[in-house]
Structure 1
Amino acid sequence: MANVTLSARGESEPATAWERYAQVDAWPQWSPQITRVETEAARIAPGVTGRVVGPLGVSVAFRIDEVDESARRWSWTVHRGPLTVRLHHGVRPDGDGTRTWLTIDAPLPVVLGYAPLAQLALRKLVAAG
């Protein structure tokens, strides 16, 4: 397993970036690797499950493991077949903007393939507007 942390800084307010994470139906708006989310929940919460669907209809199952609204941090696990990936996210103020971070725990080939898409998504998450 490999572990890598990515981060991005942008001009959005921390509360705005957090809500983009917290509202499940907003994920496709800032994450290019997600075309839709299939879940009964409108908001992230421990125990929420569902599927994230990406380009060409490829999907992965997910489970939200932890959410700390006051600290603006959350973790989830995604899996497809025998492959499991754990993702840890956070948002914090950074000067007059916001910094978000993501730690990916996964096999090295998955980390190397996913990191560029994740970095793009992080930039969009904290962008103004």
Structure 2
Amino acid sequence: MARMTLRATGRAPAEDVWERYARPGLWPTWSPQIRSVRVRGDRIEPGMEGEVVSLPGVPVAFAVEEVSEARRRWTWRVRAGPVRMRLHHSVAVLPDGRTGTELRMEGPLPALVLYAGPARLALRRLVRARAGA
């Protein structure tokens, strides 16, 4: 099992960034590798299960393990065929007032390397302030 950590910073308010994480229906708006999300419920919570449909149309099953609204942290497991990964997300206000997000990934090294590029792009989009915001 390999591990990798990705980080991004931006000007979007931490509350907005957290909401973009906490509401699965918003994931496709900032994560270009996600076409759609199939899930019951509007907000992540422990035990929530669903499916993310990736851009090439590959379904990825997921289960949310932990959520801390107060600390703006959550963890989920994803599975695409035989590949399994655990993803730990967090959002924080940085000392300079910007928002930081961190993604710690655990899984097979080839899967982490393959996912790192799209994940970096998604994280940058996640913390980017929206026009007119």
TM-score class, shorter-chain normalisation, is over 0.9
Identity of aligned residues (%): 48
Code of the residue aligned with 1:14 in structure 2: it is: A
Aligned CA-pair RMSD: 0.7
Cα deviations by residue, 1:44-63 (Å, 9 ceiling, x for unpaired) = 00000000001121111000
Match of 1:57 in 2: 57
Code of the residue aligned with 1:96 in structure 2: it is: G
Give the TM-score normalised by the residue count of structure 2. 0.95
Match of 1:104 in 2: 105
1:33 is the counterpart of 2:11: no
Cα deviations by residue, 1:28-77 (Å, 9 ceiling, x for unpaired) = 00001101000011110000000000112111100000000000000000
Cα deviations by residue, 1:67-98 (Å, 9 ceiling, x for unpaired) = 00000000000012322100000000012220
Cα distance in 2 for residues equivalent to 1:110 and 1:84 = 9
Count of residue pairs the alignment pairs up: 129
Match of 1:66 in 2: 66
1:1-129 correspondence runs (5 A): 1-94=1-94, 95-129=96-130
SS at match of 1:57: coil
Unaligned runs of 5+ in 2: none
Code of the residue aligned with 1:12 in structure 2: it is: A
Code of the residue aligned with 2:71 in structure 1: it is: A
Cα distance in 1 for residues equivalent to 2:56 and 2:127 = 26
Unaligned runs of 5+ in 1: none
Give the TM-score normalised by the residue count of structure 1. 0.98
Q: Where in structure 1 do 4 or more consecutive aligned residues deviate above 3 Å?
A: none
Cα shift at 1:120: 0.5
